[in-house]
């Protein structure tokens, strides 16, 4: 059980030194995963060693129509979501909130508050990007915004390209969920032939140009 685990101390400076040395030797760009329970001081040490961080759009949404999405920083790789979060379609529909109730992580009252907050976030994003309150339209705007932003790179989740609602992984679950086992709805050939998939990738490429 994860709840019975513990944190293990590592020789941080030695590990940072090894990473930086290999980065210099191989001219490689290093990115650190600084999400979740990672302490704030880790971000500070990463910056001191020129290790870039993660920017996740779904974590950066604010219920403010004038500033609904915090911009991505330059020292980051930008993503809409991660393998441990809901897909964009599920996030937009609030399906992740329903899932947390099902797993006993939220009470009905807490879920109601979370749903209210999500609705305000949807309204703010639609107003901020001056688009309809439509998940696909807002996703296109978010992707374009990230592409035009300062982040050194942008990563898209494949499932978001066709509106998948099932997650890649549900943290805290085991055999009861098909984590890491669900096949993609589209083959590579179907992705290449999909006008929606190609249009999204072209939109991102144009924004990065």
Residue of higher predicted confidence among 3 and 147: 147
Report phi then psi at 53, rounded to 5: -115, -175
Give the orientation angle of helix 108-128 with respect to helix 135-148, to 10 degrees: 60
Is 1 part of a structural domain of the chain?
no
For residues 68 and 40, membership in a common domain is answered with no
For residues 142 and 152, membership in a common domain is answered with yes
For residues 40 and 108, membership in a common domain is answered with no
Note the pLDDT of residue 176: 86
| Closest C-alpha among 153, 159, 154 to residue 196 | 159
Where in the sequence is the domain holding 90, given as residue range(s)?
A: 53-208
For residues 29 and 110, membership in a common domain is answered with no
Percent of the chain with pLDDT over 90: 86
What end-to-end distance do the CA atoms of the chain give, in Å?
A: 46
Is 4 part of a structural domain of the chain?
no
CB 167, CB 85: distance < 8 Å = yes
Give the rounded distance of the alpha carbon of 200 from its chain centre: 17
Residue 123: count other Cβ atoms within 10 Å of its Cβ.
14
Number of domains the chain is built from: 2
Chain segment 47-100, per-residue pLDDT in tens? 999 999 999 999 999 999 999 999 999 999 999 999 999 999 999 999 999 999
For residues 105 and 139, membership in a common domain is answered with yes
For residues 95 and 166, membership in a common domain is answered with yes
For residues 29 and 57, membership in a common domain is answered with no
For residues 26 and 81, membership in a common domain is answered with no
Chain segment 105-151, per-residue pLDDT in tens? 899 999 999 999 999 999 999 999 999 989 999 999 999 999 999 99
| Residue 173: pLDDT band with limits 50, 70, 90 | confident
Is 65 part of a structural domain of the chain?
yes
For residues 45 and 57, membership in a common domain is answered with no
């Amino acid at each position: 059980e994860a709840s019975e685990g513990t944190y293990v101390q590592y020789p941080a400076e030695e590990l940072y030194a090894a990473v930086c040395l290999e980065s210099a030797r191989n001219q490689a760009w290093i990115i650190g995963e600084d999400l979740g329970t990672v302490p704030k001081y880790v971000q500070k040490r990463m910056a001191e060693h020129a290790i870039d961080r993660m920017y996740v759009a779904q974590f950066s949404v604010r219920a403010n129509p004038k500033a609904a999405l915090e911009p991505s920083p330059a020292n980051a790789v930008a993503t809409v979501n991660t393998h441990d979060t809901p897909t964009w379609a599920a996030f937009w529909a609030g399906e992740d909130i329903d899932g947390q109730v099902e797993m006993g992580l939220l009470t009905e009252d807490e879920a109601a508050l979370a749903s209210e907050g999500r609705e305000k976030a949807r309204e703010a994003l639609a107003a901020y990007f001056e688009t309809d309150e439509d998940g696909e339209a807002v996703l296109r705007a978010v992707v374009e915004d990230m592409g035009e932003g300062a982040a050194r790179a942008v990563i898209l989740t494949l499932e978001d390209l066709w509106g998948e609602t099932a997650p890649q992984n549900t943290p805290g679950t085991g055999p009861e969920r098909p984590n890491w086992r669900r096949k993609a709805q589209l083959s590579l050939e179907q992705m290449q032939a999909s006008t929606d998939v190609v249009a999204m990738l072209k939109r991102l490429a144009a924004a990065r140009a």
